[in-house]
Chains A and B, each alone.
Chain A
Amino acid sequence: MIATVTASGLSLRYGGTLALDEVSLRLGEGVTGLLGPNGAGKTTLLRVLATAVPADRGSFSVLGHDPGTTAGRLDVRRALGYLPQTPGFHQDFSAFEFVDYVAILKELTDRTARHREARRVLEAVGLSDVRGKRIKRLSGGMRQRVALAAALVGDPGFLVLDEPTVGLDPEQRMRFRELIAQAGEGRTVLLSTHQTEDVAMLCHRVIVMDAGRIRFEGTPAELTERAAGRVWSSAERDPSARAGWRTGTGAFRNVGDPPAGAHLLEPTLEDGYLLTLDARTEVAA
């Protein structure tokens, strides 16, 4: 992999909590998923990489730019598209005006080129027809797409997406996955999500975080592989399992260290994720 974004020893403390603990990573072109439970430090990591907050220790570079200097930080910001967890909107702006406004803040100065760019990204997210509509009149899914369009303005080399599919209905989520997949072509996308499905379907690499540390970095297949031989089925919940839940068939799906002779099942990415977190999670079927 050719690394476009690298981080080394990033640490950040919020009060008494170590939100990031010696995080080092390497990202390349394509979509990288960032998985982790609530409070794992995913959003903090994204905000550090997006230059929104500085790390207490460590360093990183984005597309060769060092954000440790004023000029470097500016270059990183120029190369960055950021979609926060709960994006805000200027409700009285039309979708086009909002994207145009972001384009101005990204310092696209030529008015004609900027307007062309705003139309391009709105078309890319499928909002050409409603670009003149005020944002307050758009549905939640459409607003999320406006935020993605704003992040895509200027064709950034590094796109940071913080749980972009939260709150979307299944159809909208599918549409969004399609957009993210397109966005990942030719650029580096870091996608923070709770949805292992998103990672399985979109990402060519995955990072698992917990308690401010990186627990896994590799391909989705490698994460899935972690659960190979460690998922089995049983009629009742196996007390030795680290996690277990009743499936639609009525049988229990157990994850952990199987007993001898257990009926092993094909592992999924979620199984690998659970085992990586080493959590004893019980999920009711």
Chain B
Amino acid sequence: MSGSTDTITQKAPTGVEPSARGRESRSAAVLALARFEARELLLQIPVLAFLALYIGYVGWRLFIGGDGMDDFPILQEVDRATQSTSLLPAVVVFICANRAVLRSRRQSTDQQFDILPMEHWRRTVAHALSVLPLAAITALVVGFQFTWAALKPGAVGHGSAAELAAGPLTVLLAGVLGVLLARVIPVGFIAPPFVIGVFVLTSLVSAFTNGSHWVRWLGPVVTEEGADPFPSELLGRPAAWHALYLTGLVVLGLCAAVLVSGGRTRLVTSATALALAATAAGVAGQSPDVSGSVIAARTKASVSPQQEQTCVRHGRSTYCAFPEWTGRTADWAAAVDRIQSRAGGSAGGERLTVRQRIDARGGLESDAALPPSATPGHVTVGTRWGGNRLPEFAVGVASVLVAGNEQAAGRMCDARVVPIMWLALSTQPDPMQSLRDVRIDDSIEGLATALAPASPVSMSAQQTTVVRELLQKPHYSVAAKMKAHWTELTSSKTPTARAAELLGVPLSGKGTSADSGSGKCED
């Protein structure tokens, strides 16, 4: 053994940039790893597939598959409608972030990498940060969805930044939880069964708690959809608290993952305490059910909407809308004018009051039907517009013009349905399609109920045949006969066969009691 006497104290590496030394440089290293992992994550086939599915679905809804109501978006509904679709990227981010953390273990690089300068907890931070681009993509998609809707000429209402933040925050949370799961249970392929387990657990908890408010808001995404959107001030959704709750959970999840990875620094401990406080505050803020003041406001808007509304005159009629919908009265007026122009007798010049109504007493998810108004000349219009709501509104207007009020129209069982349906549907761009759209069974034959905002009307098979035949004729030829025989056509005593004869429609077959002019409805 040869002896030696000297020991060198330092040997600097040669030929390369020195390794990170200061805190700033070490952070730069974490960011470099986050960039690398983000690129890897974005290039994962499942991520690409789910992103394509997500963006494709949103694009399809925006540009191809939407119904006509999408042309008249209500922004306080559009914002939260962005949330549920963000679960698609969230699920894949959870699984792939988990797999990315476990890559070293799976491919046995642990023994090499464990002795490299970047500690485990810093790598954990980098993995969590690598999810940010995917959350940013989600935010871009959400932003695009909302902006696209907001820029439409028919858009009304107000969006909420907190509601819009829920989707991206959910993706971020999913990624962080994927990282945390990998650090707590470092077992490959645990993420997919975990997702299924969470889904099953959520369903069970929801079932056992009857979907109670505070439990539902513990989930990342809370979409509450009902028949008619509410004015913004009646929503009562604790969206800001929920955003705080989600943000707290994201930071808490990250801190937990870092702590499990050995990063027990003062900064992490402080951040954990702050995140815990934010999460608790979020839970406390979002858990109470809808406040008494909101319930009172909902009741007021439901029972006496006139106290909340602004009314404007267009031509002969008056149009009353909740403040966020005042810009839509011109559309209603145009529809009313078209219908009245084809009506005979005094109906063509009747002064109507079109009032926007909602029933908000059952909450956001209520499907309660609006009771028909008994006030003569009063027409109900809902908060949605476009699509099927156009012919439905037209049926409502025509019903009042013919029957006098909505309640009477709802009880009607006679041939007056023929002029009502013709007036309503002949003014639509595609009358036959509109006939399908307003009928509950989407048919153009046989007995069915035709929808209107407050008072659906019943159509017998014979009446349907007459209406269908009339809609296939040029409207000016029918309009002349309609006006000429208006009094007889709008009499409850007129049988369907007589109405058909007056309007020049051949009719065969036996009618029912509703066709007889007796005023009795069919069984």
**Could you tell me which A residues sit within 8 Å of B by CB distance?**
1-4, 6, 26, 28, 50-52, 61, 63-65, 74, 77-80, 82-84, 86-91, 100-102, 104-111, 113-114, 117, 120, 147, 150-151, 154-157, 186-187, 205, 216-219, 222
In whole Å, how far is B14's beta carbon from the nearest beta carbon of chain A?
5
Contacts of A1 in B (CB 8 A): 2, 4, 6
Q: Please, how many angstroms separate the alpha-carbon atoms of A86 and B25 in the complex?
A: 32
Once bound together, how far apart are the Cα atoms of A84 and B32, in whole Å?
A: 25
CA distance A28 to B8 in the complex (A): 9
Closest to A83 in B: B112
Contacts of B14 in A (CB 8 A): 155, 186
Question: Are A154 and B7 interface neighbours, CB within 8 A?
Answer: no
Chain B residues 5-64 with CB under 8 Å of chain A are 6-17, 19-20, 25-26, 28-29, 32-33, 36
Binds A, one of B114-122, B288-296, B377-385: B114-122
List residues of B whose CB falls within 8 A of some A CB: 1-2, 4, 6-17, 19-20, 25-26, 28-29, 32-33, 36, 103-104, 107-118, 123
A-B contact count (CB 8 A): 138
Nearest-Cβ distance from residue A197 to partner chain B, whole angstroms: 22
CB <8 Å contact, A64 and B7: yes
Nearest 6 pairs of A and B residues by beta carbon: A88-B108, A64-B9, A107-B20, A88-B109, A1-B4, A107-B29
The contact of A117 among B1, B12, B17, by CB within 8 Å, is B17
Q: Say whether B4 contacts A4, CB under 8 Å.
A: no
Across the interface, do A105 and B123 meet the contact criterion of CB distance under 8 Å?
Answer: yes
Chain A residue numbers with a CB within 8 Å of B26 are: 107
Let me know if B1 and A216 touch, CB within 8 A: yes
Residue ID in chain B nearest A51 by CB atoms: B115
A/B interface sample: 12 pairs, CB < 8 A: A51-B115, A61-B7, A63-B10, A64-B8, A77-B116, A87-B109, A88-B104, A91-B107, A104-B36, A107-B19, A155-B13, A222-B2
The reply to whether B16 and A101 contact each other, CB–CB distance below 8 Å, is no
| B117–A157 touching, CB < 8 Å | no
Q: Is B117 touching A101 in the complex (CB atoms < 8 A)?
A: no
Residues of B within 8 A of A52 (CB): 111, 114-115
Q: Which interface residue of B6, B32, B36 has the most chain A CB atoms within 10 A?
A: B32
- Minimum CB–CB distance from B58 to chain A (whole Å) comes to 29
Contacts of A88 in B (CB 8 A): 104, 107-112
Distance in angstroms from A115 CB to nearest chain B CB is 11
Given A91-B107, A104-B32, are A79 and B11 neighbors across the interface (CB < 8 Å)?
yes
Pair A107/B118 contact, Cβ less than 8 Å: yes
